[in-house]
Amino acid sequence: MQAIVEANLPLRIAAVISNKADAEGLQYAQRKGIATAVVDHQAHASRENFDAELMRCIDGYAPDLVVLAGFMRILTEGFVQHYTGRLINIHPSLLPAFPGLATHRRALEAGVKIHGCTVHFVTPVVDHGPIVVQAAVPVKSDDTEQSLAARVLHQEHQLYPQALRWFAENRLALTQERVNVQDAETLDTAMRSPWEKS
């Protein structure tokens, strides 16, 4: 979230919302003069009730796009469908490989030579939405979960703002289960190579 704010994108961040009152992102947003809100999932009897309250809170800010950044909860189908085509996430793997948690450990255990991250539109199937852009990093022979995660995170901080810039500039065309990036200059950047200089 901080990387998105600091990218000075051509968009207005309406609010930062968290399910945890002590989230560092809330304090950062407040220092930047961005509206904040907390919807505590523990205060709701069911996932559906929490998502309904979260939806009400989000809709109060009338955003064009809902950006998941460090929000670690599985959202209900009703919530996801409410924001179809307007809900975006970043995942620390090259989807469809390694959806879910512990992606770096699983990548190392699988012995893959390339790992990375994916910005995608959210659908009811977790970590399987239409892909906007991906960044790849080489997996080194001496990598640990921590070293691989750090290299992927560096790419995440560049990739997510880029995808949001394309959205703000109306360059993303979502058709069925695919995302096309409009403008010939951006077509070749829908995948960052592990050997490119960052």
For range 19-29, the mean pLDDT = 95
- Which residues have a catalytic role annotated? 91
Dihedral over alpha carbons 56, 57, 61, 66 (to 10 degrees)? -90
Does residue 76 lie in a domain region?
no
Residues 10 and 91 grouped into a single domain: no
CA 192/CA 31 separation, integer angstroms: 33
124-177 pLDDT, tens digit per residue, is 998 989 999 999 999 999 999 999 999 999 999 999 999 999 999 999 999 878
Does residue 73 lie in a domain region?
no
For range 86-106, the mean pLDDT = 97
Q: How confident is the prediction for the chain on average, in pLDDT? A: 92
CA 77/CA 67 separation, integer angstroms: 17
Residue 195 pLDDT > 60: no
Residues 170 and 92 grouped into a single domain: yes
State the CATH number of the domain containing residue 193: 3.40.50.170
Which residue range is the domain that position 15 belongs to? 1-66
Residues 70, 100 contacting (CB under 8 angstroms)? no
Predicted confidence band at 190 (pLDDT cuts at 50, 70, 90)?
Answer: low
Does residue 168 lie in a domain region?
yes
CA 110/CA 88 separation, integer angstroms: 27
Residues 88 and 53 grouped into a single domain: no
> How far is CA 156 from its chain centroid?
9
Residues 162 and 115 grouped into a single domain: yes
Does residue 155 lie in a domain region?
yes
Residues 133 and 190 grouped into a single domain: yes
CA 42/CA 104 separation, integer angstroms: 29
Residues 95 and 25 grouped into a single domain: no
